[in-house]
Structure 1
Amino acid sequence: MTGALRRLHADQSGVTLSELLVAVSVAMVILVAVGGFFTATLRAGSTNTTSDQNARSASIVMNSLTRYVHAASLLPKADGSYAAALTEAAPTRTTFYAYINLDGNSTDKPVQIRYSVNAAKRIVLDQWDGTANNGFWTFPATTQTPTRSVVVGGPVASPTVDGDPLFEYLGANGTIVPTQSDGTLAATQLGNVRAVRVNLELGSSTAGLSGNTHIQNTLYLFNVVYGTNTGGTP
């Protein structure tokens, strides 16, 4: 017995190659599992941060649109008629008059507002101040430099992952006003618009990208008579 124990303690051959390979394989499996979990955790955290930032930015954009579109108004003309509230209606661009006290002064002044998507796929708010003449207001062409221009947020994807454009236009019956082949409304159709549906997918110009925030809201033109389909007189 003593001789057997002596021989056992004297055996310094160590582990075999097969045992070493098994140990390495098990260690690699553990390392890959732990590394994958760590990577997934980092990606999830990054996605959550991006989603939160995009949600905040989308909220800012929608609040800006809501404030101005709700204030869209018919514009009185010197001949006693009224110009339609909207002067341009396109999938990624909408221009309209807004008759509201925007600067805190006691006198309300109409402004011409345009929301559009620039080359960087960001939403831009342009504003043109009008010129008063005997109580009536005129505005420069939108090709001229705006009085104020600010990037509201973005980038945005239009059409969205659902295939919807940034802006859609609804008539008095609540349905989408048919567009021309290029997606815009003709000048004769502008007076029929009673609401603007905003399909906002913000975060990337690529629709459906992970982390994008998608919001849809219908903004009614409260200062335009809703019960009629034609512009002209309120």
Structure 2
Amino acid sequence: MGAWYFPGGSVSSSFVSSVLRDGIAILWIDHPPVNAIGADVRAALAEALAGIEHDRALRGVVVAGTGRMFSGGGDLREVGRPDASGTVRMADLARRIETFPKPVVAAVRGKCIGGGTLLSLACHARVGADDALLMLPELNLGLVPGAGGTQRLPRLVGLEAALDMVTRARGVDAAAALAQGLLDEVADDPVAAAVRRASDIASGRLPWRRTAELAVPDGAQA
């Protein structure tokens, strides 16, 4: 895994730290104060995934946020700014996660806003803490959720709940997210639970669930 993996240890970049647990790589988004998923974070996550993919010792991935939240969203300083050559866009990262050959599970503690929610939707499962709050507030900023989020969300929660979440731009707490299918599990320690879930998916004890392959409930088309 090159710079990203040392057996039994942990490795850090400036924006993402990597820790190993039971054959699962935990990628911590580490970009204070709100873990904004800007270009540097996206590049670090993509680099980590590239190494993990070819490491036979690693069976899955958990993505989590340091501090009190998963992510406060994208970096607003990048809105309207042309992407530099070679920039990993959010849509690129989401597709990379969704099509990754090893299970990727999001461990959501605290706020998971905008780009954080879009990233979690691309994962193969989502585990939340009791204080998890998922939100797509883009319409409040005159934007539309991107990165395939408007296609993935209805496949998880149904068209009506997806429209409500997007058009009202209000947060969904852990209990509601679990009931809707936006979260697969709520746990006191979402990272530990996400590690177990990634391991169970990798071993076949739980099924793979790539969001793009799910049918849209309610007979609607995304």
**TM-score, scaled relative to structure 1:** 0.24
Between Structure 1 and Structure 2, which shows a larger proportion of strand residues? 1
* TM-score, length of structure 2 as denominator length: 0.25
Larger radius of gyration: 1
Q: Which has the higher helix share?
A: 2
